Amino acid sequence: MNPAVASAADAGGIVGPDVVAACGLSAIPGVGATALARVVKKFGGYIAAVEGGAEKILRFATELQLRTESIDFLVGKPDLEQLGLEAVATAKRCHARICVLGDPWYPPLLRQIDNPPPILYVRGSLDPDVRRVALVGARDCDAYGLELARDIAEGLALAGVQIVSGGARGIDAAAHAGALWAQGTTVAVTGCGIDVVYPQENAALFDRLGRGGNAVVSEFPPGTPPDKRNFPRRNRTLSGLSSAVVVIRAATSSGSLITANHAAQQKRPLFAVPGAADEPLSAGPNALLTAEAARAVTSAKDILFHLGWPIPDALNEPEKRSTRKRARVMEPVVKPPEKVGVLEETVLSDEEVRLFQALDERSPLHIDELSLRTRIPVEQALTRLTELEMKGLATQRPGKYFLRRIA
């Protein structure tokens, strides 16, 4: 055994040569779960395939049904073991663990789908036994959809349900923020490598999800860019991790309907939030409801009822839920200016205080205007605003407009 393989480690410690080999094979462009399963079956295991090398795999290219991009890559005679070592090293640098299908902590629900992802890169903690519900919808969403996503996520989190979404802007980010606001946990399943931040404006969110019972999950090799071809695979994993999928706001062309289709194939309960017939963002959910592919819901309570899961008192008595929001206990604060009394309940950086002060409760301000007023660069301001949103102090509107939010 190569000494480097024997000492390879991810964030969880030393990994075996089978993990290194699996990472190397999955780094071949165009090799997904199905193709990798064929390679493993042909060679009798990950290690045997890597030891055979690129040339031997190429001999069976037709039988293995390899894609052109895979063949072109293998023609260059890459060192598959070295690719695996590099993937493991990157995972360690990102504080990510590598979970291979068959590991005891591989998520049981995901294991049940056809051709589950053979490898998961996980930053944070992915509890194999927790109940999960996926919330999906449009990236470019309206204010109603964003608030609805937050409310549903918060309600489910209060019931101990972990929220799964895609880490994108719009509904995804709102769902993650709602779960965190309720002091629940949430998982972002991404369509890029575990070391790639996409979208950049959600960098603070991904950092938050890397700890505290939350997780960022990717089935793609480190360094994989967010190519549009990756997202159907991402959506399949997202639904596979979940006990149910909820489509909140989506056009008929939205990738959310791909997730819904995967949920149906995986025999997972599918829910959709109905909307007005003339609203483009209601077209996706309405189409699912018209086809009787999904059941109509408008709240976390509806979802919990249909799944037969316990409904907490806070959802039966809304006034207690709002009181809980106002009475939330936070850590001591780096003292902000006295005129912004609400900030005394939470921990804010100097930049977050400046942005909060610049925000208005009624008139949304564009990110460019906020950047100008606070003299904070746009990308940095977006990161800080995401942090404010997760702390329940800001709300994002479509088009990168922001409002102050006081619970």
Question: pLDDT tens-digit profile of 3-31?
Answer: 778 778 888 888 999 999 999 999 999 99
Question: Before 199, cis peptide (omega within 30)?
Answer: yes
Which of 212-221, 290-299, 311-320 is least confident?
311-320
d(C-alpha 10, C-alpha 21), whole Å: 14
**148 Cβ neighbours under 8 A, 6+ residues apart:** 248, 249, 273
Mapped onto helix, strand or coil, the DSSP state of residue 132 is strand
For the chain, the domains span 3-93, 122-323, 341-404
Kindly report the CATH number that applies to the domain delimited by 122-323: 3.40.50.450
Which of 23-32, 334-343, 397-406 is least confident?
334-343
pLDDT category at 344 given cuts 50, 70, 90 is very low
In the predicted model, what is the mean pLDDT of residues 288-309?
Answer: 97
d(C-alpha 392, C-alpha 170), whole Å: 16
Query: For 94-150, what is each residue's pLDDT tens digit?
Result: 999 999 998 999 999 999 999 999 999 999 999 988 999 999 999 988 888 988 999
In the predicted model, what is the mean pLDDT of residues 275-286?
Answer: 94
Residue 340: is its pLDDT beyond 50? no
d(C-alpha 252, C-alpha 9), whole Å: 44
What pLDDT was estimated at residue 42? 96
In the predicted model, what is the mean pLDDT of residues 293-297?
Answer: 97
Residue 345: is its pLDDT beyond 70? no
Mapped onto helix, strand or coil, the DSSP state of residue 310 is coil
Residue 268: is its pLDDT beyond 90? yes
Within 273-363, strands assigned E span 295-296
d(C-alpha 71, C-alpha 55), whole Å: 10
pLDDT averaged over every residue in the chain: 89
Among the listed residues 215, 298, 294, the one whose alpha carbon sits nearest the alpha carbon of residue 256: 294
Among the listed residues 106, 133, 131, 86, the one whose alpha carbon sits nearest the alpha carbon of residue 219: 106
Strand partners of residue 404: 394
| Contact criterion met (CB below 8 Å) for 404 and 398 | no
Among the listed residues 369, 103, 125, 137, the one whose alpha carbon sits nearest the alpha carbon of residue 235: 137
d(C-alpha 315, C-alpha 350), whole Å: 35
Residue 386: is its pLDDT beyond 80? yes
| Contact criterion met (CB below 8 Å) for 27 and 90 | no
Q: Which residue has the higher pLDDT, 98 or 325?
A: 98
Q: Measure Cα distances from 52 to 35, 44, 47, 234 in Å.
A: 17, 11, 9, 30
Among the listed residues 111, 109, 151, 150, the one whose alpha carbon sits nearest the alpha carbon of residue 130: 109
d(C-alpha 282, C-alpha 38), whole Å: 41
What pLDDT was estimated at residue 4? 79
Residue 1: is its pLDDT beyond 80? no
Residue 326: is its pLDDT beyond 90? no
Output the pTM of the full model. 0.82
**Domain 341-404 adopts which CATH fold?**
Arc Repressor Mutant, subunit A (1.10.10)
| Contact criterion met (CB below 8 Å) for 187 and 206 | no
Share of the chain above pLDDT 90, in %: 68
What pLDDT was estimated at residue 346? 56
Q: Which residue has the tokens 């596979």?
A: 240
Which of 65-74, 156-165, 204-213, 287-296 is least confident?
204-213
Mapped onto helix, strand or coil, the DSSP state of residue 395 is strand
Angle at 187 between CA 141 and CA 117, to 5 degrees: 105
**Residue 320 phi, psi dihedral angles, 5° rounding:** -70, -35
Q: Which residue has the tokens 């890597």?
A: 50
| Total number of residues shown for the chain | 407
| Contact criterion met (CB below 8 Å) for 145 and 236 | no
pLDDT category at 332 given cuts 50, 70, 90 is very low
pLDDT category at 397 given cuts 50, 70, 90 is confident
Among the listed residues 167, 165, 150, the one whose alpha carbon sits nearest the alpha carbon of residue 391: 150
Q: What one-character-per-residue DSSP string does 195-251 give?
A: T--SSGGGHHHHHHHTSTT-EEEE-SPTT----TTHHHHHHHHHHHT-SEEEE-S--
Which of 92-96, 158-162, 369-373 is least confident?
369-373
Among the listed residues 143, 399, 405, 389, the one whose alpha carbon sits nearest the alpha carbon of residue 249: 143
